[in-house]
Amino acid sequence: MQYLIHGFDISRHNGNVEWRKINSKRENETRLQFVVIKATEGAEMVDVNFKSNWENAKKHGFVRGAYHYFVPGIDARLQALNYILNVKHQKGDFYPVLDFEKNAKGHHEKKKLAAGLKTWLEVVEKHLGVKPVIYTNAPVYKEYIKGDYNDYPLWISDYVSKDIGFINAPNLILWQHSEKGRLPGISENVDFNVFLGTPHKFEKYRINI
């Protein structure tokens, strides 16, 4: 399958980014069109590079998105508030993303984690007026999300499969297919992603404030 829209995601672990180099130095390769940037984690943490990455992504012509890393055991409303207070979306930004990839042990803890997922999504959706994207891996998708969140856009990480078709979900829009991408201007490996749809469909997941 030929994918038309490619992007990457980053956090402080990728170090300082020389944004002007990313596409200008990728000769004979597909230009990257979007980037999803780590913004927040838990109830208080803000990625130290978020502000710089957020501003520079827009400055250098990328469709930018931001994600929150969900931490089990911490109040989901406070986690949602952490994201809302620190990510100032503008028209044209990609929908907010919840990075939800940690499982829990035991029935009681699984129920609490599932409730936290629902709470974060609802709080952020109410604030922005759009349904956040759920980022996760295949095992957590099957445990918490499959069949219950078909109206929320889905982003799956899978670095082994040659095709993401094994996730038979109507709401699947993004595939993180590599964690070992190399880019000019970034010293550490980055995650590579593709959008599963047309450019017209991609536009539907940009905020229209």
> In the chain, what are the domains?
5-203 (3.20.20.80)
Q: Which residues contact 20 (CB under 8 A, 6 or more apart)?
A: 60, 185
For residue 120, the surrounding DSSP H or E stretch is helix 107-128
Q: How confident is the model at residue 29 (pLDDT cuts 50, 70, 90)?
A: confident
Task: Give pLDDT, residue 183.
Answer: 94
Q: How confident is the model at residue 1 (pLDDT cuts 50, 70, 90)?
A: low
- End-to-end, the C-alpha distance of the chain in Å comes to 33
Q: How many CB atoms lie within 10 A of CB 139?
A: 10
- Bridge partners of 191, per DSSP, are 9
pLDDT exceeds cutoff 70 at 209: no
Taking residues 126-136, report their average pLDDT.
Answer: 98
State both tokens at 14: 């990728």
pLDDT exceeds cutoff 80 at 78: yes
CA 48 to CA 207: how far, in whole Å?
Answer: 24
| Phi and psi at residue 124, to the nearest 5° | -70, -40
pLDDT exceeds cutoff 80 at 26: no
26-40, 63-77, 134-148, 184-198, range with the lowest pLDDT: 26-40
pLDDT exceeds cutoff 80 at 85: yes
Of 159, 167, 153, the residue nearest 195 (C-alpha): 153
pLDDT exceeds cutoff 80 at 57: yes
Q: Which of 41, 55, 101, 122 is catalytic?
A: 101
Q: With pLDDT > 70 as the criterion, what percentage of the chain qualifies?
A: 98
Taking residues 27-49, report their average pLDDT.
Answer: 93
Taking residues 60-80, report their average pLDDT.
Answer: 97
Q: With pLDDT > 90 as the criterion, what percentage of the chain qualifies?
A: 89
The pTM for the full model equals 0.95
> Does residue 29 have an active-site annotation?
no
Q: How confident is the model at residue 86 (pLDDT cuts 50, 70, 90)?
A: very high
Task: Give pLDDT, residue 113.
Answer: 93
> What interhelical angle do 107-128 and 76-86 show, nearest 10?
30
Q: Are the beta carbons of 138 and 158 closer than 8 angstroms?
A: yes
pLDDT exceeds cutoff 80 at 28: no
Task: Give pLDDT, residue 106.
Answer: 84
CA 156 to CA 159: how far, in whole Å?
Answer: 10
- Bridge partners of 134, per DSSP, are 98, 154
Q: Are the beta carbons of 84 and 55 closer than 8 angstroms?
A: no
